[in-house]
Every structure is written in C-alpha cells, then in structure tokens.
A = this chain, B = another copy of it.
C-alpha cells in the first residue's frame, strides 16, 4: 500500500493493442492496493516522424519550436492510455507536463527539472484516480514548453517518484532486467536481482544502456528504489536498483561490460615538467572532447608518456589538438591504436575485498589476453585489450566472478549495444 510510479517507453505504447497491454500492467499494480502514476513516452516512431516533418519545413528548426512540436507525441500517448484504462472500468486522468507542473530550466531540448508540483497529483490520487503523465516534457515558470533530452522519460518518472515520495519507480522495458553483461555474448548470463545505483551507473557508462545515467543519478540523489522490468512478462520482478547502503549482501562483481568504440592515443617523450598533462587535457576539454582512460608514465630516459582514450568519432579533432601540444613541448611521436576494446568489471563489493583486480588480470592471462592499459575507480576496474579479444574477455570474466546461470537466459527484444 503506497505510491508506485511506472514508466513505459515508446515501443510499449506503439499501437492500440500494446496500449491495452500497458493498461493491464497499470491495473495490476492498482489492484495490488497501490496508488499508481504512469509515465509514458511518445508512441513508437512518432518522435522520428515529427523530427522528419520539421526538417522538411526547415533545415535548422528553432529548439523552442521543436519542443513545442515534440511534446505533442507524449500528449497523444497519455490520452490514449487514459482511455484504455477507463475502458477497463478504472478511473484515470491524463496530465501533460504543464498540467502536473513539471518545472524546468528554460533550456530547450535538454532542460533539467528544477521542481515538481504535487498538489494536483495528490488530489487525483486521493480521488482514487490512476494518473497518466507525459514523460520527457516540462514547462518553465514562464509557461514555455521544454523537453528533457535523452533519457528524458525515465528521468520524468524518477523525479515524480521522488516528489511524491513514492515507494518505488518501475521502469518497464523490453529487457527482463539488468544483466551482468550482454546476453548476446554470454547467453547464460545471470540477471541481477539487485544492484546498486553506483554499479548501475558504471555499467551504463561502459555500454549497458538499459537506463539513461541521468535517471539513475536522480534516483540515487533522492534515494528512489528503481526496478527495471519487462513489459511483456509482468510476473517477472526484473532488477531492483537501490542505494549501496541499503544492500545487505552483494557480490564483489556485479557486472562486466565492454566498449569497442574508443581509440587510444599515445604521446611520448614529453618533458617531465609540471603542466604538461594539464596542457594536453585542457586543450581537449576546450574543444569538448571527452577523454576516458588516462595513464601517465615516466620513461627511463626521464621523459613522460601520456596515453588516453577518446571516442572514435572524435579521433580526428583529438589528433589535431595533440599535434599542436607536441610541437609546443617538442615531444616525440604520436601513436594511435584503434584495435582496442575496454573491458570493465563493476561492483560495489570491490571496495572492501582485496584481490579482485588480481583475479581479473589472472583470468585474462589464463585466456591469453594481453592487457594494454589499466585504470581503476572505487567500484570499477577497466582493462584495454585487443578488439578481437573483447568477447573472450567478457566470457572469461563472467565465469571468473560467477555471473553465469545454469540455464541460458531467454533473450527478448533489442539488447543494449556493447
């Protein structure tokens, strides 16, 4: 008996039949005795269609008008879902971002939520109504319509759950939960029953994009228990994501992820004077190039070498910048390696269990996988390996850390890209 916020994505409401499936999932939660708020995205390919229309009108559509345009997509979904719920004999009411009072900054196409008004939501809940809220959209204090950018609907759901002090926020998706790695690579991978926000964030950042990091960050900030679960198997509880402080037991390694989209740049023979690293990464940052792993090492001749990875899309601008720095410091050669994949193990349990890193390196070595570069954080260890070894590495690490099940996972729908 509490408040449950549910979120369904665009594929879950793609047509009237699917909308009725969602209505059933909503009613099931209501029948469990809970107050229910449902957040939905635009139907199927609606957003793509609207973007195409705008591009036909003008090459550079104004972002304010794009928000005006795109926000209609969710408004269509909420009206239809409310109708579907009503057709099963339940009381439902749809609300767009404006009507709820999902207040955002005035930054079009990627606004951040600053406040959520709860008066109307509370009033409708008190009257026993199921509330259907448009995700992805908000409104500025001045009445301008905004959208929240990528992962927006997940963020809407989590923020509403936080504002209502909900018991849980359930993100319904086309996968059955969060897996310790990509089931396409390790078919008998375990679904995690429980995982921490921090682990989820690390897994998301290295490629397991079931949830947008932004929604996980928001859930973490307001301590909203999140559940990632399947729209198709309503009895399956999926994966619960909570604060690490609330977890009684957890595995040292919660997941394994790989990212093959990075390229390594090595700049050698930099003078061993203060400010060289600051110069290199300062220039990259100025040009909006995100750097992932960084290793600096002192060579025997007293010079430094700096190796780092960037996304393959940014390799050309990165090389141009590094070339300038090279000239400035009269440094040695630049070498570029695109035959790399980053394989990471993630787990909140690493903190107080020594030897996890050693176990990782040993498992890779036993499988003849050479490590090109290592970086570590509190709850993550990443190794660069050769691209063709990525899948072998993932399998080895899943086995090493006991992430496989006896039976093969049944894989449904689109899986996250690795």
**Chain A residues near B (Cβ < 8 Å):** 16, 19-20, 50, 53-54, 56-62, 64-66, 68-69, 71-72, 75-76, 78-80, 82-84, 86-87, 93-94, 96, 98-99, 120, 143-145
Contacts and interface: CB of A to CB of B under 8 A. Distances in A.
Interface centre among A56, A75, A76, A78 (most CB of B within 10 A): A76
Nearest to A81: B57
Contact of A83 (B58, B75, B82): B58
19 contacts: A16-B53, A16-B56, A19-B57, A20-B57, A53-B76, A54-B80, A58-B87, A59-B87, A62-B86, A66-B79, A68-B75, A68-B94, A68-B96, A69-B76, A71-B75, A72-B75, A98-B98, A99-B143, A99-B145
Contacts of A71: 75
Contacts of A72: 72, 75-76, 79
Given A16-B56, A57-B20, A86-B58, A94 B65 contact: yes
Contact of A82 (B65, B76, B99, B144): B65
A146 to B, nearest CB: 13
Nearest to A55: B16
Q: At the interface, is chain A mostly helix, strand, loop or mixed?
A: helix
A80 B57 contact: yes
Contacts of A144: 99
B57 A87 contact: yes
A310 to B, nearest CB: 34
A347 to B, nearest CB: 45
A94 B62 CA distance: 11
